[in-house]
Amino acid sequence: MAQATFGSPIKKEYGEQVSLTTTASHLNFRPDYHEVEMYCASAWRMALCPKLARVKFFDATDSSYTDFTAQATDRLSTTDVVLDAMQTADFLYMGFTDPVRGWYDDMDGTNVNVNNVSRVVEYLYDVSTGGYQTLIGTVDGAMTVGETITGSVSGATGTHVFDDGATILVIKNVVGSFAIGEDAEGASQKNGTLTKISPTGNGDGYFTDVSTDSDGTDSSGTLAQDGLYAFDLPAVVKGAVLVLDSQPLYWYRYAPSGALSAAVQINQIVPAADTVNYAFKTAGMIYMFALNTVQAGAFEFDHTSSDTLNINWIRH
């Protein structure tokens, strides 16, 4: 049993129960509590999950950002992350303290999506504190992220970050100066006859799709019910995406494949662990944990059958 000693007396306790089954359960920390006590009569399993440190909604109609961090994590039934009529150019950004393999969306009652659309979920794979250069020319094929790009005349070099397969090539770690009119060459493809070279800031970062998606909220459309959106743990990088937060976090985002319905609201977003290799907990034991609320923000529970987990939150 883990035991923490605090220099201040207990001020408040709060009890709740979680029904454990063979399907994992997800529970956000209760805000402003410092310890937790757990008991289950039978053997159970548990994972500690990263903290969801920032949630921001980007509205493409006016290029504005709305902060929904408190609403996603405060465990109040009266506050929500509002995605009403979310469009394909809008994004919900989520920054975690460590990589996650997904998150659990706890929908707000009947305010669910009824349109038959999916979500396009992406993770941050590159953000450079030194900024980027955008090279405009004619891209003649798909290049590879991370490959070296070399100026055919200047000999300047940079590292491939992104290309659209048509005209745009973004690079970082530039050494030397690329020149108008030359080719920017990769290992087997190039951006030919550059017409424009411009510096690009590091405020946005670059995102790419997660793989092996599984959307537990999908019922003739995403965000139609409570559920886990899971995927293979990606090679997400930690970075400060300045338009979102100055704090370096592990960023994910999603947009719908088509417009969501008029009233779509998420009551809680609960981070999932980075693995399903949960820790084993012994039957009939009382476990006490001091909460690291800076780095962690949720629990994930599992059971080989079913039982009830008693949880007491302790505030000092």
40, HSE (Cβ side, Cα atoms, 13 Å): 23
Q: Which residue has the tokens 């987990």?
A: 309
Instruction: Please give the domain boundaries of the chain with CATH numbers for all domains.
Output: 12-49+274-315 (2.60.120.10), 52-126+205-271 (2.60.120.260), 132-200 (no CATH)
Collapsing DSSP to helix, strand or coil, 259 comes out as coil
| Cβ contact 177:154 at 8 Å | yes
pTM over 0.85: yes
Render pLDDT for 256-280 as a digit per residue (tens, 0 to 9): 999 999 999 999 999 999 999 999 9
Distance, C-alpha 62 to centroid of its chain: 23
With the C-alpha atoms ordered 183, 185, 188, 189, is the resulting torsion angle positive or negative?
Answer: negative
Q: Which two tokens stand for residue 55?
A: 């949630």
- The three-class DSSP label of residue 34 is coil
**How high is the pLDDT of residue 203?**
61
Q: Is the dihedral of CA 203, 208, 211, 215 positive or negative?
A: positive
- N- to C-terminal Cα separation, the chain: 20
DSSP state of 181: T
- Predicted confidence (pLDDT) at residue 1 exceeds the cutoff of 50: no
When mean pLDDT is compared across 61-75, 121-135, 283-297, the lowest value belongs to 121-135
Q: Please, which pLDDT band fits residue 199 given cuts at 50, 70 and 90? A: confident
Q: Distance between CA atoms of 251 and 124, rounded to whole angstroms?
A: 5
- Give the number of residues written for the chain: 316
